[in-house]
Structure 1
């Protein structure tokens, strides 16, 4: 991994990060290595300018000694040499500006080593579990294996876990305008920081000193006139630490990004109709709700039962048994198909689908309602004061407040949808106005309606015929499906983060120094959801007839508010940490002083995230479609750590460190690390590390108070012939099974397990850095990370097999049957839910290479040419299970379950090039995101067998390359104007209809590219 320049609030000496090339992004070069044009491209790369992040060169490291000593991320020892055995990527604000990147969050999402199940802001618009947050996933090992620090101290977790299991720090809590730079340590660092640092560390370094006034105003918009962004900031500081003995500054900012909808982008990103996506004569399906498939054959009215757009359909049913008969029909033909196109079924289609209506409504939900990016509004205020204490000590105090609001619109309100726990739709008894469950999966309107609160049978004697039921006069109930045309689901999250930090450092004597820091952080997250039906209230308005289903627009606001009360919950997360260390020199070795550092730390962390949709009051006292996950827990951690740095020779340095952590629950862990740096000649440095680390079980994995559920489609592999015989089919003829079997899903419900053990890891790196001349350097680093005892959901196959074989369910599992098939009421129902606890079981391995190239050369006295390249290649990412089976993910859409189908491409990188003319600079960035195979072994396919492709796409989604252009003009010492043109050639993302994190494209590969060509202009002022 790369080690970087400063940590714990240390400012990098002038001439280091601020004046060098600091941001390496190597996208295209590594990708083009595979294409066989490496020499030409590498030559071009080295004729470019500063990039996104960079490894510190030996020459640059030597410069540090001329200025001051520094503390490096992953270390507690002050040193003059910034080069350590670990590789570090350094991200500076200056180079983010050159790339046209507006926020540090966005910049971190683009680093080459960020891969796999990263969490981006765009996921918020697609129902992400931790909506409103952003997190990186170094090495493809997920968000919970990357540790995020502020000035070397921990930050509070986001109150919602990623997928209900993974704790992470939200990058949206970064106060952009007080950030000096960010260091990304890309190897294990549990020996310095404890849990979660398995894949690496992101250390956000804030400004230590600021004097004067600076501000920024920026606006941006796409070439299509949408996706607008705005940014304003102002920072003011006074005092000079050297001259006045103090420095103080305050900073505030405002950022806003407007919602972007699918309808604002061209085909196929704006529609559910994929029939124009073709490959070798095979075209995609028409997924428009109630529409025809790609072969112009009606797929079966079971699709209508699942989704009906925003039109209500009804079908007659027996008031005694709930058995349906006849065809569905539009409840109110006068209203027709809302926001959709009517289609009359042909005689053949009607014959094949006895339940289908004669007219269906083809509604394109993506075109009508789809959201690409949510509304994002962020603002914050920060302040810091640093002061001399006595002759040589230095103390500081810092405070940050930041609020982020994320909001997006969803689909029309559904009155028929799966609740996130076992719940069946009711039918009504004709002898009593009472709903009962388990006999039908479709909501039914009763024959008679009575005033609310009626406890006796509702009959003709005390009630009236139901005005919403067109079959009431015949004594039949009405099975009703669909969505309400006059109500839209809307979700909003508001996060407030409060952070304070204090610290003091100084010399003990000529050889030893001390450093004491404390931080506290509190986050509160308010989730608010509107337009979701509260189940019991739906049953109430059905029973008393107070809701007008025939003409939903005629309902009063009071009735709508009763049916769909606002769902709201506030979650909190807290962290308190204190840390102290001393470091100094023991003796001189041939290569320099033998340095030792020791320290202790205490931290408290807690999460309290109640369910926004619990069933504590009963299965009907909750909402349709809102996830019910909840978690509450706290822990205290006591730690001691030490480090030794031994420059044995001028050419050989050895660094060893270790940390012991003790958790209040009784868990303890020791994490060692050793690193070696060898410099046989000045131009070459060899480096390597070996370490062990751990990840403590998350609060969601160990302390969930309400479980999380994911839904899995039924496939032939989960059944057996004996079971399917009840439905007149076999595994071999699964395609002919009833829709009840084929179109069903079952919920995988994961229950918290307080007896989980920590995940353990071992990792090693080996690399070389070559600097043939001053200002030109190359790096290659190999990494290998192995996690054991990886926490996962239990394999549900034994429970599923036992259920369908009619055997006893194994211990540790609970199987909940679904409602019976109305066409086969005597048959054993399919599975609705399988519940099991998290377990320590798997082994996960990530292995790959990092490449870097940096140039900073003077062309003439007034012109500098800078270039920086960073690329990462994943050789292998796989999970090995206890039975010996292996799932491999690199270069595919796996791990499908963790990445929302966004996958794990092998290559990723960026190349930034700049020509600096002094008062004018122009930069070009090449962004490269590798392609991948449309397969995922965790979805039952073989490795790279194209198993998720329906034939309408090539087996491999191609590489995605975009080009950005940025120009800066320094008008005078106080004003700088700049303009960006991102995605210069308006290259929209590669088409991928398999991933579900976004519509028809990969949200990680093409997350920013979906904006198309994008323009930003701004001004920076400094006084």
Structure 2
């Protein structure tokens, strides 16, 4: 992806925690069933409300899989682990594991949500987690403790991650979230933590589910169906086999389906009084008239064609633009005839006497894509002899997304070229690689040969209304009859095998192997292919005057379908052995050692390369792509020493060697101390690393777009566009300068070093009675040599000032402004190479309160989880940029920023046959500033005058009611966003329109209803 800690936030967080303590207070005086803890079992009430669940046998308890440790056995609790069961998700009304992971309180900052797919994400069709705000590539996602293949496309074209949409929801037992560095156990990418998805070991019987949901406004319809069947009992029969399948669908939602202001380009309803006077937003509907009667700068991208005459050489234009076919009027939008005064405005000197007003957001844009997922799993597990067990697991999952965009442009840049960094069309339909090239023009003559057309070998151009006068027609606009379409289809195939047991009476072994292949097809339609555009202009085969008369074959020629197939693979084998070395006062001194080898590969060719020339590509489609593979061999060990009953020490280390030439040793130590039964103190210290991704080390150029505020453009530069154009009077500037984005083109580097990290945690767990548990954990992570693009602000400033561009940067100018062809163009792209430079620090506190109480006929459980970020910062050349509570890291998060507080509080009241659950979700507000955009910390630097300085906090309440009809059948009804609270308005964040997709989530759909039924026998 490419936004002041307040008293109010503190009070709200304190109120939530205090309320939980007050509600749990009755339990302090009495006993109750075992309470859930951060790394403990499912609470009885949650299990009951969700229907029948499996419980672990006594034998199973000795085989606990401890995420973050290679020693199998009873969890020591040294590292902070959050366990989320599927029953917990059901109690909260969350119907996919992907959504459950996104809702984690420790997930923050540059997380990648499904909604971002419809907003131009590089890794379209995917979802990923970002623990501690350290981005998607610093959180390791595992399946049953084994690595998974990367999604073939990279986040921002550079960061590898595992797509959460590939998780087979129906067979997931629980999700363990290790909130601590874990490179000593798992190797690279585990800097911020680990998400370990653990599947069911066995299943007996048949279980089926069907559910459907929709918002009260009739949008975001979704359906889910699952079926699981299994036979055999491992304890009694020595085997278990089960198969499972699922189907899930979520309908896409358009912006026009949302309430105001999220459904329109008209921002006049967004107002603020922070300047002392009431200021309201602009009417950004293309070619609109503001409250003062002024016409906004002439907008050409309205899916209509406008032309303006110029001499045959296309060097001198005259007169105003006009609709290419005035008789047909506006093919899209509403016609408006500006007054003489409006046409006389400085920014409308070439505006046509009839303009087309169009609300692009309302007419075209989508909030979320159409999403469809289905798949199946099969597992066979068997005991071998008296003390061994083996399993074989197969998974298949297909995830598809599709969404439509805006009309395809016929004039623009083809970004991030591989051999040719920029292309813009010129008057003679040949590539103009130098800045300041002329505007695309319809020639006087057209001919079949397409070159050197004249009166002898051709005919007057029927698309050019000025051809008879020997003039070319400069043409601007977008295709009136074609919108862009994007779709992804990801197929994941995975097999896993495991064998564990005991040999030589006291040596435990655990062997696991996995193979995973991802096949992703990326398909786009409606994007203009440059050479084909030049061809139809030159031979006259495309009817620009009346596009409705074009055949489908002609449309397909101009914007041919683009299909790109990408793949990723991972193959891994791992063996661990462990043995008790001695008996200490607190228990067995255990040593585990192991080795691993895995191969990973990504083959993601460019969807828009220019290998065959600068015109053999599409407008606006990125050229990013990468290909690479590597083999990693590892050795690791861990020792767990219960020195006393109250004190356990733990140490582990891992050495990884990459075939690409890098290697790293990752140590970790930890201790847990219980001076009394009710108090536990724990802490860890570790070092970790992140290997450069394939996208960072060996990728084609990638371009991400960052919105450019006119206030960051010097007045000296703006003045050339007219005396009325300045930072103080942006309405006097052409649309060419207002609200545009700079393309930041990133070049990979094979010389990058691994990022290094050190982290430590310290926490206290307080159990006043067996039914109530309170935890407080502090974490502190420091990453050095972080891979980043250099700060491009000096290069941008140099271009605006007309000075030499600093070394290491290339600034590429945009096509000229059609209204000011003699003015210096704005910036199109800034190119630079990735480097190891930054130091990133993340620190904060996690809070957890878990309690259970039996009132007799009613069982109550309460689970609160909250995270507070003390600091998230990047130090560049000795200068620290802080992001917590602001929109930063702006470029990395698409302006979604870093929230200081995030948490949820689940309460379940189980009456036996009926269970009621409510969840309060809270995300704090943030200041509209970002130090990586040149602002001071929390200085309101990104806010417009019609914005308050701070986006408000966001609180929603979800409710779920489960009805147990009998032991085999139950049904449930849940309401998401019970009080119909829409996310607070954010006009700066660009990952979604007018709201923060990470903060708001599915709250943008308002109140939603879902009903379902489960049957088991």
- Asked whether the two chains share a fold, i.e. TM above 0.5, the reply is yes
Deviations 1:810-865 (A, max 9, x none): 543334444566888787665443322100000011111110101111111x3211
Q: CA deviation at 1:152?
A: 0.3
What is the aligned partner in structure 2 of residue 780 from structure 1? Answer: 776
Q: Where does 1:120-269 land on structure 2 (aligned, <5 Å)?
A: 120-269=113-262
Q: Where does 1:791-870 land on structure 2 (aligned, <5 Å)?
A: 791-800=787-796, 809-819=805-815, 831-860=827-856, 862-870=857-865
Q: Where does 1:281-360 land on structure 2 (aligned, <5 Å)?
A: 281-293=278-290, 295-301=292-298, 304-305=299-300, 307=301, 309-352=302-345, 353-360=348-355
1:468 matched to 2:467? The reply is: no
What is the aligned partner in structure 1 of residue 357 from structure 2? Answer: 362
Q: Retained in 2: the 8 A contact 1:380–1:400? A: yes
CA distance in 2 between counterparts of 1:192 and 1:729 reads 62
CA distance in 2 between counterparts of 1:99 and 1:59 reads 14
- 3-state SS of the aligned residue for 1:844? strand
CA distance in 1 between counterparts of 2:352 and 2:408 reads 22
Larger mean CA deviation between 707-716 and 842-851 belongs to 707-716
What is the aligned partner in structure 2 of residue 70 from structure 1? Answer: 64
Q: Retained in 2: the 8 A contact 1:283–1:294? A: no
Q: CA deviation at 1:62?
A: 14
Q: Where does 1:615-626 land on structure 2 (aligned, <5 Å)?
A: 615-626=610-621
Residue among 877, 881, 885 paired with 2:879: 885
Q: Retained in 2: the 8 A contact 1:608–1:632? A: yes
TM-score of the aligned structures, taking structure 2 as reference length: 0.92
Q: CA deviation at 1:244?
A: 1.4
What is the aligned partner in structure 2 of residue 700 from structure 1? Answer: 695
1:761 matched to 2:744? The reply is: no
CA distance in 2 between counterparts of 1:196 and 1:487 reads 42
Q: 1:811 to 1:428 in 2, by over 3 A?
A: closer
What is the aligned partner in structure 2 of residue 39 from structure 1? Answer: 18
Q: CA deviation at 1:879?
A: 0.6
CA distance in 2 between counterparts of 1:270 and 1:808 reads 44
CA distance in 2 between counterparts of 1:511 and 1:482 reads 76
Q: CA deviation at 1:447?
A: 1.1
What is the aligned partner in structure 2 of residue 632 from structure 1? Answer: 627
Q: CA deviation at 1:744?
A: 6.4
Q: CA deviation at 1:511?
A: 2.6
Residue among 1006, 1009, 1014 paired with 2:1003: 1009
CA distance in 1 between counterparts of 2:483 and 2:828 reads 28
Q: CA deviation at 1:711?
A: 4.9
Q: Retained in 2: the 8 A contact 1:59–1:774? A: no
CA distance in 2 between counterparts of 1:52 and 1:948 reads 46
Q: Where does 1:583-662 land on structure 2 (aligned, <5 Å)?
A: 583-662=578-657
Q: Retained in 2: the 8 A contact 1:817–1:829? A: yes
Q: Retained in 2: the 8 A contact 1:586–1:596? A: yes
Larger mean CA deviation between 350-359 and 540-549 belongs to 350-359
Deviations 1:784-814 (A, max 9, x none): 1111000000223454556566666554333
What is the aligned partner in structure 2 of residue 94 from structure 1? Answer: 87
Q: Retained in 2: the 8 A contact 1:712–1:748? A: no
Residue among 880, 894, 901 paired with 1:900: 894
CA distance in 1 between counterparts of 2:60 and 2:179 reads 27
Q: CA deviation at 1:957?
A: 1.3
Q: 1:992 to 1:435 in 2, by over 3 A?
A: closer
What is the aligned partner in structure 2 of residue 417 from structure 1? Answer: 412
Q: Retained in 2: the 8 A contact 1:341–1:363? A: yes
Larger mean CA deviation between 981-990 and 749-758 belongs to 981-990
User: Runs of 5+ in structure 1 lacking a partner?
Assistant: 1-27
- 3-state SS of the aligned residue for 1:867? strand
Deviations 1:553-575 (A, max 9, x none): 11011111111110110010000
- 3-state SS of the aligned residue for 1:635? strand
1:387 matched to 2:396? The reply is: no
CA distance in 2 between counterparts of 1:484 and 1:722 reads 32
- 3-state SS of the aligned residue for 1:100? coil
CA distance in 1 between counterparts of 2:966 and 2:721 reads 82
Q: CA deviation at 1:443?
A: 1.8
Q: CA deviation at 1:1018?
A: 0.7
Q: 1:807 to 1:362 in 2, by over 3 A?
A: closer
Q: 1:640 to 1:153 in 2, by over 3 A?
A: same
Larger mean CA deviation between 178-187 and 621-630 belongs to 621-630
Q: 1:520 to 1:434 in 2, by over 3 A?
A: closer
Residue among 678, 682, 686 paired with 1:691: 686
CA distance in 1 between counterparts of 2:97 and 2:1004 reads 20
Q: CA deviation at 1:520?
A: 0.7
1:56 matched to 2:33? The reply is: no
- 3-state SS of the aligned residue for 1:287? coil
Q: 1:435 to 1:910 in 2, by over 3 A?
A: closer
CA distance in 2 between counterparts of 1:674 and 1:783 reads 15
Q: Retained in 1: the 8 A contact 2:168–2:395? A: yes
Q: Where does 1:488-527 land on structure 2 (aligned, <5 Å)?
A: 488-527=483-522
Q: Retained in 2: the 8 A contact 1:47–1:867? A: no
CA distance in 2 between counterparts of 1:834 and 1:275 reads 33
Q: CA deviation at 1:737?
A: 7.6
What is the aligned partner in structure 2 of residue 4 from structure 1? Answer: none
Q: Retained in 2: the 8 A contact 1:46–1:854? A: no
CA distance in 1 between counterparts of 2:818 and 2:1010 reads 58
What is the aligned partner in structure 2 of residue 954 from structure 1? Answer: 948
Q: CA deviation at 1:715?
A: 5.4
Deviations 1:954-989 (A, max 9, x none): 211111111111111111111111111111111111
- How many residues are aligned here? 984
CA distance in 1 between counterparts of 2:207 and 2:450 reads 68
What is the aligned partner in structure 1 of residue 447 from structure 2? Answer: 450
- 3-state SS of the aligned residue for 1:521? strand
What is the aligned partner in structure 2 of residue 1022 from structure 1? Answer: 1016
What is the aligned partner in structure 1 of residue 47 from structure 2? Answer: none
Deviations 1:131-158 (A, max 9, x none): 1000010000000000000000000000
Q: CA deviation at 1:998?
A: 1.1
Q: Retained in 1: the 8 A contact 2:250–2:370? A: yes
Q: Retained in 2: the 8 A contact 1:570–1:610? A: yes
Q: CA deviation at 1:54?
A: 4.5
CA distance in 2 between counterparts of 1:639 and 1:751 reads 30
Q: 1:465 to 1:616 in 2, by over 3 A?
A: same
CA distance in 1 between counterparts of 2:36 and 2:188 reads 26
CA distance in 2 between counterparts of 1:944 and 1:588 reads 56
Q: State the Cα RMSD in Å.
A: 2.8
Q: 1:640 to 1:267 in 2, by over 3 A?
A: same
Deviations 1:28-60 (A, max 9, x none): 998644566753464247789999995136999
Q: CA deviation at 1:526?
A: 0.1
CA distance in 1 between counterparts of 2:204 and 2:399 reads 28
